[in-house]
Amino acid sequence: MTSASPGPSRLTETVDALRTALAQSPDVLSFTLGGTIDEETAAAAEADGVPREFLDFCRVLDGASCGPNVQLFGLAEAEEHQFYCGPVVDSPLPLSPEKLYCIGMVNEAPVFLDRAGGGVLGNPEAGGDWVDAERFEQLAPGVAAFFLDRLATADYARLAEIDDELLEYDDWLKLLRRAGLTG
């Protein structure tokens, strides 16, 4: 794992490598990588309560669709998924829009940014039954670290629960290999 806030240069370099590989990969779906948000959009979103760390990430990469089981939302899509932060009857999880911000999905379970500590939290192994989990697992110390250390590495295959027989067909893994991020 990296520190809580990997340098923007590492994130930018990784995203640039992925965008270059995507441009040279007509066999990979083009919507895999989002664009970026501008300063005006970021300022308006921050005024509406979107966490700054998520906005800083969106300034470099406004979402990534890593495969059918893993998605890191762009700003517009994140705003549509904040209902996951609301309390759920009989769930032991501390769900609260004041404490959490939904930033993606892994295996049908939402992934949250902890507004206070900046960590990325979730229960990806619980899948659709995530609300029954006893507690959140910290997936990474921050949004950039989640992307760089969990999604832009070979660890993605484990996180996404990809069957060994399907590894060679996964578009995100193809893109990671072509960008020189995995073996």
Residue in the structure block whose two tokens are 């769900």: 95
Domain tally, the chain: 1
Residue 2 lies in a domain: no
Residue 3 lies in a domain: no
* CA gap 113, 134 in Å, rounded: 18
Specify the 3-state DSSP secondary structure of 33: strand
Chain centroid to Cα 136, Å, comes to 16
Stated pTM of the model: 0.91
Residue 106 lies in a domain: yes
Residue 91: which pLDDT band, with cuts at 50, 70 and 90?
Answer: very high
Mean pLDDT of the residues in the chain = 91
| CATH value at residue 83 | 3.40.1580.10
121 with 133: CB under 8 angstroms?
no
Residue 103 lies in a domain: yes
Within the chain, strands assigned E span: 64-67, 70-72, 100-106, 109-114, 120-122, 137-140
Q: Give me the domain span that covers residue 39.
A: 8-178
Residue 168 has pLDDT above 80, yes or no: no
* CA gap 72, 52 in Å, rounded: 16
Judged by average pLDDT, the poorest of 28-42, 68-82, 104-118 is 28-42
